[in-house]
Structure 1
Amino acid sequence: MTQPSPDRRSLVRGSLAATAALALPAVPLAAPAEAAAGRAPAEAAARTAPAVPALALSGRPQALWGVQSGEVTAHSALVWVRSDRPARMLVETSPSETFRYGTRRWYGPLLGPATDHTGVTALHGLPAGTRIHYRVLLADPADPRRTSEPVAGSFRTAPVLRRTGVRFLWSGDLAGQGWGINPDRGGHRVFDEMRALDPDFFLFSGDTVYADGPLQATAVQRDGRVWRNLTTPEKSKVAETLDEFRGTFRYNLLDEPYRRFQAQVPVIAQWDDHEVRNNWYPGQLLDDPRYTVKDVDILAARARQAFGEYFPLAAPAPRAQGRMYRVVRHGPLLDVFVLDMRTHRNPNSPGRQDNDPVGILGAGQLGWLKRELSRSRAVWKVIAADMPLGIVVPDGAADFEAVAQGDPGAPLGRELQIAELLRHIKHERITGTVWLTADVHYTAAQRYAPERAAFGDFAPFWEFVSGPIGAGAFPAGRLDRTFGPEQVYVHAPAVPNLSPDEAPPHYGEVVIDGDCGELTVRLRQEGGAVLFSRVLTPGRVGQ
């Protein structure tokens, strides 16, 4: 995202829970404001976060950071956990919440410092279209009989029958622009609201953390109220070391609504720029005094490892080099094509090249996407893009960050690659494509039509934008007319960087009807409001 962003704030902490409330290890708190006011560090800590007992490594291992599931298909899923020490991960599953029958045990990896004591266990042979209850235990490697208290979660496997519908949510941008976990607000309470909708999964559309956004203990909102952040040492500066990147992911896990949500709702995790640094691209050398590490490729490799350690991804640990783009199949109604518009792009530029084979996807990813779209037999093909197509996102005075560059004429620069993809979708008669994205910190619905476009060799389609889920809200960007977008709906503030109190978080909902196959998109706002709704019919997506 390219928005004018204020200083980022110092870091957070709190207590964790999954099924029952669990106490977190004590974390030293950065509280410069209180210290400057003459208060003792202990008093400042008490004002910043609730007191928790210090971690003792005697006794049994503890799973203090909750559980997650992800990449759920009809017959498989991944389950994630983090231990407080070296331990063997064990997962038990059952169709019963009480685990009184049908219990199976899965032996997972040994969790150690190489992966920051995180690990993922793959579950296979699961029944389709079924609520699976699971609990994770951590076994002491020296005495396997000594295990942690179980931490429970659940997920629903994808259906194999078309008549079973699908419901999922999407959004992006968490704890950015200085607005972190505010205990006075109950944390990121939007996750409790989303959990109540009981979605099949959550598409986390990038900027899952703000590694370049330190948090201060307090921030002043435009209306004069004081926002109070939970803080931790790792979030007191921009992330450069692997441990600092890991700390940015642990920060989000301090939020109880977020942990409750993760325990019940599987995640499809996507990354964008703030997992590394604002507007980064491969080969970039930084001119930023906050960084001692100037090579973005080094930072990206560390961020990639931390991302893989803190989300349930299919690639093996340390998951630093695994391909980020992939397709997640969710039964006969839905395939989700998760793009990586960050790793394979060319440098940000004015975007006026008349020949640009690298573009924003890279040649390899573009070829993969065309092949997989052609092979897909799902009724709906959601293209999960971490950046929008037609919204102009600047990077400085002359360069551009996304696809569009403000020239309404024929495709140039990165637009050439998107034109090739849209032409392929039309000529191969691929139906049911819908684009979902976040990144720009407001919500919108945009219909692209060839009769309005400078490039007309494509079939009409919709792009829906959501977010932020817990960061600063920003005014709407202008549209580039190359692909003929019409902004059918937009909800954005008039001034930049409003807090989640001043501009409540946005998220999107997609419901696919199992009987008629219609896809309904709802753009939502925290508090239960449905801001906009559109029903799409199979075979007539762009109408």
Structure 2
Amino acid sequence: MPSSLIRPNRRAVLAGGAAMAAVLATPSLVRAQSRPAFTHGVQSGDVDASSGMVWTRTDRPARIRTEIATTESFADARALAPIDALPESDLAVKRLLADLPSGQDVFYRFTAEALDDVNAVSEPITGRFRTAPGDRRDVRFAWSGDTVGQGWGIDAEGMRTYAAIAGRQPDFFIHSGDTIYADGPLEERVELPDGGVWLNEIVTPEKRKVAETLDEYRGQWKYNMMDAHLRAMNAALPTFFQWDDHEVVNNWSASKDLLSDDRYSVKEIGVLSARAGRAFHEMTPIRYVPEEPGRVYRKIAYGPHLDVFFLDMRSYRGANSDNVQTDRGDATAMLGARQIAWLKRALADSRATWKVIASDMPIGLVVPDGDTMFEGVANREDGAPKGREHDVAEVLRFIRAAGVKNTVWLTADVHYTAAHHYSPERAAFQEFEPFWEFVSGPIHAGTFGPSELDMTFGPEVRFVKAPPEGQANLPPSAGYQFFGLVDIEGASGRMTVRLMDRDDTELWSTTLDPDTTI
């Protein structure tokens, strides 16, 4: 694929965003006189050996025609039944492409016909992805989290970390949560401590306030997709999405108190989370789970060497609290009984070499919520499991008892990058086998850290890169933007994990052999 599609220059970033803003700002009467247009590119996601989800959005109600092929020229194109882009889903459509060959580059093409004029047909828009292999070939994927947070939006350079990820040509990318910042309004100009100025070159109406309505939540997603680097990556490879708190509001749980937050006229966290959840599923190519609509936790099998288990540490948690309950109950839930039961079954049934557990929050880092409550798993006590640590202890205990081998945890959330090794030799709770947890992010947000360790599960920092002491919320231009890269060798099954920055510099790496104590 031409490098210009992967690394748009400054002019392309600004021109692409300006053109898209112009389309969205054009009065509907004028737009009705022209052909339909696709407004935010394409996306693919949740790809396995025989299927994958695809997504796009139009500027008006339209009939979307889809073709798929195994050649970039679409010489062997197969047309699918059309679907309609309608206002009920904010003109976004997604569909499952099934019956695909394994280990194959798949090309897809959308065209849009105006519902009120079949002769008004859009220019086509295309994307691609690679299905999971059916044999033991090499696999590469990337992960990170945290996009457009803390007031840092699309500047003149655009969200460059996405270009660095795409340039590595991974099979897929895991977005580990905080995919949007619905609680993070943008201003055009931000004064920097060193006397410089950060300019958000694009600011939409939805990004000028906190999201409360369904359309405002949708607008958070549409803003991110105005970035040329992100759209280029989306067209070139699939993204597997998780969510965390900022998709709704910072540190949201049942105890979230918005009564004193004058930014919000809607004070009910349940109303906000329902609207945010609907926007999340409309605006991402996540699969629909018939037995539990709206579910985020799931497994994606990506060839004989890899199963990825996506956790949801947000939807089933108890209210944020002091997190020191000695007895388990609703108040201590982090994953919840149903998700834990699913995870146990799925791990026990997995025959993949590596079981990657994609977690939207780290296990052993202290993440507070104010002065007395906790947002994360850890409670800073270093002792036997209490509070939410009970859920993690149950999962780790099961992994050891069931003989599940080769588990690796990937996460984001804390806005710096690190490698943590967990061992019962260092832990207060010792009923588990050693494992690694790798942290990456942000993609394009403020940088913080490092966070305090809790020794309940015996973490040890093997690598960390974070801002210098006393510095916080550094802008993306400071360079502390990170992603992780994982390579699994097809022949040996060895896994190499690299921690990278947005300049595509390798900061640290380790290689893990399967079926050995790590």
TM-score range, shorter-chain basis?
A: over 0.9
**Could you say which residue in structure 2 is the equivalent of 1:266?**
238
- Tell me how far apart the structure 2 counterparts of residues 146 and 332 of structure 1 sit (CA, whole Å): 46
Structure 1 residues 139 and 328: CA distance shift in structure 2, 3 A: same
Structure 1 residues 54 and 66: CA distance shift in structure 2, 3 A: farther
- Specify the code of the residue in structure 1 equivalent to 2:48: T
Aligned length: 500
Displacement of 1:526: 1.1
Structure 1 residues 291 and 53: CA distance shift in structure 2, 3 A: closer
2:238 aligned with 1:241: no
2:382 aligned with 1:382: no
**Could you say which residue in structure 2 is the equivalent of 1:531?**
507
Displacement of 1:88: 1.5
- Tell me how far apart the structure 1 counterparts of residues 151 and 28 of structure 2 sit (CA, whole Å): 28
Structure 1 residues 60 and 320: CA distance shift in structure 2, 3 A: farther
Displacement of 1:225: 1.3
**Could you say which residue in structure 2 is the equivalent of 1:407?**
381
Structure 2 SS opposite 1:335: strand
**Could you say which residue in structure 2 is the equivalent of 1:516?**
492
- Tell me how far apart the structure 2 counterparts of residues 55 and 529 of structure 1 sit (CA, whole Å): 47
2:264 aligned with 1:291: yes
**Could you say which residue in structure 1 is the equivalent of 2:167?**
196
- Tell me how far apart the structure 1 counterparts of residues 442 and 392 of structure 2 sit (CA, whole Å): 25
- Tell me how far apart the structure 1 counterparts of residues 275 and 27 of structure 2 sit (CA, whole Å): 30
2:305 aligned with 1:333: yes
2:310 aligned with 1:313: no
Unaligned regions of 5+ residues in structure 1, if any?
1-12, 29-50
Structure 1 residues 438 and 55: CA distance shift in structure 2, 3 A: farther
2:99 aligned with 1:121: no
Structure 1 residues 146 and 316: CA distance shift in structure 2, 3 A: farther
RMSD of aligned C-alpha atoms? 2.1
Match of 1:434 among 383, 405, 408: 408
**Could you say which residue in structure 2 is the equivalent of 1:250?**
222
**Could you say which residue in structure 1 is the equivalent of 2:144?**
171
Displacement of 1:321: 4.1
Structure 2 SS opposite 1:303: helix
Displacement of 1:165: 1.2
Displacement of 1:24: 4.6
- Tell me how far apart the structure 2 counterparts of residues 276 and 424 of structure 1 sit (CA, whole Å): 32
Check whether the contact 2:20–2:226 (CA below 8 A) recurs between aligned residues: no
Structure 1 SS opposite 2:222: helix
Instruction: List per-residue Cα deviations over 1:417-453 (Å, max 9, x = no partner).
Output: 1111100000100011100000000000000000110
2:277 aligned with 1:304: yes
Structure 2 SS opposite 1:388: coil
- Specify the code of the residue in structure 1 equivalent to 2:146: D
Q: Which runs of 4+ in 1 moved over 6 A?
A: 51-55
Displacement of 1:231: 0.7
Displacement of 1:26: 4.4
TM-score normalized by structure 1? 0.89
**Could you say which residue in structure 1 is the equivalent of 2:420?**
446
Displacement of 1:147: 2.2
Displacement of 1:132: 1.0
Check whether the contact 1:166–1:513 (CA below 8 A) recurs between aligned residues: yes
**Could you say which residue in structure 2 is the equivalent of 1:392?**
366
Match of 2:321 among 342, 349, 355: 349
**Could you say which residue in structure 2 is the equivalent of 1:363?**
337
Check whether the contact 1:16–1:64 (CA below 8 A) recurs between aligned residues: no
**Could you say which residue in structure 2 is the equivalent of 1:181?**
154
TM-score normalized by structure 2? 0.93
- Specify the code of the residue in structure 2 equivalent to 1:256: A
2:103 aligned with 1:106: no
Check whether the contact 2:467–2:480 (CA below 8 A) recurs between aligned residues: no
